[in-house]
Structure 1
Amino acid sequence: MSDDTAPEDPAVTALRFQSGACQALGSAFSAEILRLAAEDLAAGGPTAPLFAPWTGRDARAQMADAVPLRLLGALHDLALSGAAPGLAAHYPTPGAAGDAGAAWREALALMAGQQARLAAFMSHEPQTNETRRSAALLPGFLTVAAETGLPLRCFEIAASAGLNSLWDQYHYDFGGAVGRWGDASAAVRLDTDWRGPAPPLSTRARVVERGACDRAPVDVRDPIARRRLQAYIWPDQLERLARVEAAIEAVRAADLAVEAANALTWVERRAAPEAGAATVLFHSVFWVYMPPEDQAALTAAIQRLGERATADAPFAWLRMEAQPGNLALMDLRLTLWPGGEDRLLGHAHPHGAWVEWLG
């Protein structure tokens, strides 16, 4: 007799959960790919070997490792590479919505021959670098500049390719009733559905020093690494792809280097406050992927830096991170020393599609 009460494979649970998240965040194509992957994995189909490295890990751990997104990215990378034209033919392009069902059937047919390639892609932790998150972070930077009256030293942790480290070189459009900020001729142009009062857009923010680190940074000068970054953009969100491509070119032109370093040791070495500027440590959609003990250690290190701040050398911690248990809603928070008051500035969509500003 079959046991209909047997628990679901945690990987299947993770795939179903991520499918729902993709649907809620506006990527029906990604949602359907993951739904079909969950069905195939539950049936012990060709998808199963790709999930073998995570056998024995519960669904929460697989989500923390972003395993469903690794599969989604691996297939998108294969489609982008030119090595699988049959698969690419069913992916979205400008003017064509794509066919997720047909793409999945093609993917299943490819899996035996491409197993090693897909598994190799999935062995690396995901690197996402959504440039539109800068639309949520910008008001935080402007708040620091306005309240301190000082130029900024900006240091990003978990920076991936560093696309958001160049936030001050982009152009922002928050809508006619709110206003714009930045160089009107900038190639990277960010808009968002702005909700709430206007941020301090009249503030001039001058960055006098910047730095960035990541445990496994993406070198946008490497075409394979660049394609990996693009592969983690959901295929039917073509505007996001266009933005990340423009930002990649901006980073290449600026010759921005993202250091390969552990966030904790890098922060202690690089981000100490200095007189004559406001030092801003910032990150986005990073915290949820850290073990609790690492979160505690990094928080303590940041607080120690904050305690060294003075009126002439203020220190700010700006972050855009998920609410506990809700990956679909980001909190924008700012802690500014001296004083160390922690403020909730607003909420945001994970990809910056909308910002609710509280001020």
Structure 2
Amino acid sequence: MTDNLAQCLSTQARGCDLLGSPFHAALLHLAAADLAAGGPTAALLAPWAGKGLRELFADAVPLRLLGALHDLVLSGDDPALAATYPKRGREADADSAWVAARAAMIRHQDRLAAFMTHEPQTNEVRRSVCLAPGFLEIAEQTNLPIRAFEVAASGGLNLNWDRYAYQFGPTAWGDPESPVSMDTEWTGPTPAVEARIEVIERAACDRRPGDLADPVQRRRLLAYIWPDQFERLDRIAAAIDLARELGVTVEAADAVGWTARVAAPRPGAAMVLYHSVFWQYMPAESQAALRQVIEAHGAAATSEAPFAWLRMEPPADNPAGMEVRLTLWPGGEDRRLAEVHPHGAWVRWSA
């Protein structure tokens, strides 16, 4: 009954290692062994016992476990566990951390289990370094102001993509005074940095949006950033502060109904519907319904009222990869703009 769970944990461990979190990789390998031995990991993951691998990955079970433990650390409510987690200038000891995590699973089982009932929402700000060049491409092609509408926006941090400072290889773009800055390992031609960007409207929805005014929900967003990746933690903290200053809000709504209701093209602006690392978690019927709404909006588009679908998602034939695609109406031409790192660490731009 636990074989699929153990395999899921081990597979995600390899993913964490490849994406630069050896600490989380080691924790997941130890969790898989504890699960097989019937330890406290088994009790915590009991709601997913007997499920298939596809469902386990769709539910992001390993990330729920890691997020729950990190949230407990960030809260300060388990000093013994917090003392073992990575700190700047100190190499983390995953074996010691696992001993403390195992004890924490027993002491705080109900709390950790409650945290894990909520699907992960990694509001990775550096995904904006992958999406912003797509907006530049749209602006260059349409020569119109932009309405930027994001689905599955979590706390809405990537709504502010035009308010950040970027380094696309040797080329700087964005707001040089922004408290949020990011670079990436850029290869390929320079994006359309000379295009005029004017965002005249922005909006977002999420099925369960994070309320940035709530310290517990702010901590949840931080909890899904891997604890040995300090640059990512600093960046999201700065992005949260900026979003709160700007009064960013995310509407609690289903992506399909919300897109149908608010995202129709209008004359005088390019309507851009965008999302990142969201599509793969939707049921197939929801994917089909959202695609139908998007295509209906596209069919209504004109040169004075274009509609763009910009997304950063795994390609259908390679769930381990990640790419940025743009479909622009009228015309409906679909293009792959780039291959990208899931956290924005590199961009291979081809547009």
> Contact (CA 8 Å) 2:169, 2:187: kept in 1 or not?
no
> Contact (CA 8 Å) 1:91, 1:97: kept in 2 or not?
no
Corresponding residue number in structure 2 for 1:103: 97
2:213 is equivalent to residue 221 of structure 1 = yes
Alignment of 1:290-329 (within 5 A): 290-324=282-316, 326-329=318-321
Corresponding residue number in structure 2 for 1:350: 342
Corresponding residue number in structure 1 for 2:52: 58
Task: Find the aligned partners of 2:255 and 2:88 in 1 and give their Cα distance.
Answer: 38
Corresponding residue number in structure 1 for 2:179: 187
Task: Find the aligned partners of 1:159 and 1:119 in 2 and give their Cα distance.
Answer: 24
Corresponding residue number in structure 2 for 1:155: 149
Q: Note the residue ranges of structure 1 that are not aligned, 5 or more in a row.
A: 1-6
The Cα shift of 1:8 comes to 5.8
% identical aligned pairs:
59
Task: Find the aligned partners of 1:147 and 1:258 in 2 and give their Cα distance.
Answer: 28
The one-letter amino acid of 1:355's match is V
The 3-state SS of whatever aligns with 1:243 is helix
Task: Find the aligned partners of 1:325 and 1:9 in 2 and give their Cα distance.
Answer: 26
Corresponding residue number in structure 2 for 1:4: none
Query: 1:35 is matched with which residue: 29, 32, 39?
Result: 29
The 3-state SS of whatever aligns with 2:309 is strand
2:243 is equivalent to residue 260 of structure 1 = no
The Cα shift of 1:29 comes to 0.5
The Cα shift of 1:329 comes to 2.1
The Cα shift of 1:81 comes to 0.7
> Contact (CA 8 Å) 2:84, 2:96: kept in 1 or not?
yes
TM-score, structure 2 as length reference? 0.98
Alignment of 1:32-181 (within 5 A): 32-176=26-170, 179-181=171-173
> Contact (CA 8 Å) 2:2, 2:49: kept in 1 or not?
no
Task: Find the aligned partners of 2:157 and 2:321 in 1 and give their Cα distance.
Answer: 21
Task: Find the aligned partners of 2:150 and 2:23 in 1 and give their Cα distance.
Answer: 32
The Cα shift of 1:112 comes to 1.6
2:8 is equivalent to residue 14 of structure 1 = yes
Question: Which stretch shows the higher mean deviation, 287-296 or 273-282?
Answer: 287-296
The Cα shift of 1:111 comes to 1.8
Task: Find the aligned partners of 2:91 and 2:113 in 1 and give their Cα distance.
Answer: 27
| 1:113-142 C-alpha deviation (Å, 9 max, x unpaired) | 100011011111111100000001011000
> Contact (CA 8 Å) 2:277, 2:312: kept in 1 or not?
yes
Alignment of 1:330-349 (within 5 A): 330-349=322-341
| 1:173-198 C-alpha deviation (Å, 9 max, x unpaired) | 1232xx11111110000110001111
> Contact (CA 8 Å) 1:25, 1:328: kept in 2 or not?
no
